[in-house]
Structure 1
């Protein structure tokens, strides 16, 4: 009877030990898995967030800085139309250009600030335009002076011719951004610039009787 009890006790102990070993193994495996998982989940979202926050390059910075200056001049030109243009169509187009480009200036300024970059000083008017003359399509201060002095049909023609040239420069800059840029919103804005300003060039050429 005693021997039988010892056998039962040994069997129970063996089963308990085996069960304990299995539990420990499982815990160890789960723990290791969770640790790896937490490492992965901890680094992955962080890396993703970091990538999103820093997903821009020098081309994006250059595009934003230069296009802000480019847009500012277009807005200056557009503002002259209100009391100088004789054609309502020219006035409406100028208002449309200002309405589109003012918000884009603010958007690009916001990007630069978030990247720790300096927003270009507003050099609108005067000699400031010559400082940006290296950008395609920019008017010189002499050009701007002529436009400011023009009125009526002379202004209409000069404004349209200058703005066609200005838009062509902006499209060239936008194409460079689409090719070299990395920041999604910036390349999207570049695409929007190409679409909108290509259509406006066609409209202005028709108004000039060129197409």
Structure 2
């Protein structure tokens, strides 16, 4: 009888110890094992990667929201060229500007949309809302350009586009200094390179360089 009780006690003790071990193992698994903790952290690497790829700051948003209307006006100026310009060099320059900046407008708009930020509205309001932006032409200046033709247009176009490009280069340099989003900083670098070269080209055509 006594041996039976001892056996029962030992059985209970072993069972309890086994249960305790299972509980401890279960707790350890939830906290540290790939099955438990990994269920939470399995998303972390991809989430972190996405966050790094999509990391942006206020400077990136300002760059995109400012460069969109800036580029739109440059394209608007370039669109005036086929019917008004006399110089083949000016016509070619306008084509190059449009080819470069149209796709950039789409890219910048896509970034803002992905960041849940407002994409600047299109239309004449660009001139009034962003008239104080670096290098932007006023509505009066745009009207003057539209009313000119021949060599007068060529000269006005290049003088205005130099000012316009200088504003874009300044904005791009600010993005490179303050931005966090790598693709935006790369675009800023491309803008600095291409538009600085076009400024030099226009100065030469104007006989200023």
Would you say same fold, with TM above 0.5? yes
* Equivalent residue number for residue 49 of structure 2: 48
Query: Residue 173 of structure 2 aligns with which residue?
Result: 175
Deviation sequence 1:136-165 (CA, Å, 0-9, x none): 001001100110000000000000000000
2:122 equivalent in structure 1: 122
SS at match of 1:90: helix
Instruction: Report SS of the residue matched to 1:136.
Output: coil
State the match for 1:12 in structure 2. none
C-alpha displacement of 1:52: 2.6
- Which structure 1 segments of 5+ residues have no match? 1-23
Aligned-residue CA RMSD (Å):
2.3
Residue equivalent to 2:95: 95
Q: Is the 8 A contact 1:86 1:152 kept in 2?
A: yes
Q: Which of 128, 152, 155 matches 2:153?
A: 155
User: Which of 35-44 and 199-208 deviates more?
Assistant: 35-44
Distance 2:99 2:50 in 1: 33
Provide the C-alpha distance between the structure 1 equivalents of 2:132 and 2:195, rounded to a whole number of angstroms: 20
Return the alpha-carbon distance in structure 1 between the equivalents of residues 99 and 46 of structure 2. 38
Task: Give 1:47 deviation, angstroms.
Answer: 2.4
1:38 CA displacement? 5.6
Contact 1:129 1:140 in 2 (8 A): yes
Question: Quick one: distance in 1 between partners of 2:40 and 2:121?
Answer: 45
Q: Give SS of 1:61's match.
A: helix
Q: TM-score, normalised by structure 2?
A: 0.81
Partner of residue 206, structure 2? 208
Secondary structure of 1:119's counterpart equals coil
Contact 2:60 2:180 in 1 (8 A): yes
CA contact (8 A) 2:86 2:151 kept: yes
Q: How does 1:52-201 map to 2 (within 5 A)?
A: 52-53=53-54, 55-124=55-124, 128-201=126-199
In the alignment, the residues of structure 1 paired with residue 104 and residue 178 of structure 2 have an alpha-carbon distance, to the nearest angstrom, of 20
Cα deviation, residue 118, structure 1 = 1.6
Counterpart-to-counterpart distance in 1, 2:126 and 2:66: 13
Number of equivalent positions:
186
CA distance in 2, matches of 1:40, 1:130: 50
- Measure the CA separation in 2 of the matches of 1:42 and 1:117: 26
Give the 3-state SS of the residue equivalent to 1:129 in structure 2: helix
1:128, 1:141 within 8 Å by CA — same for their partners in 2?
Answer: no
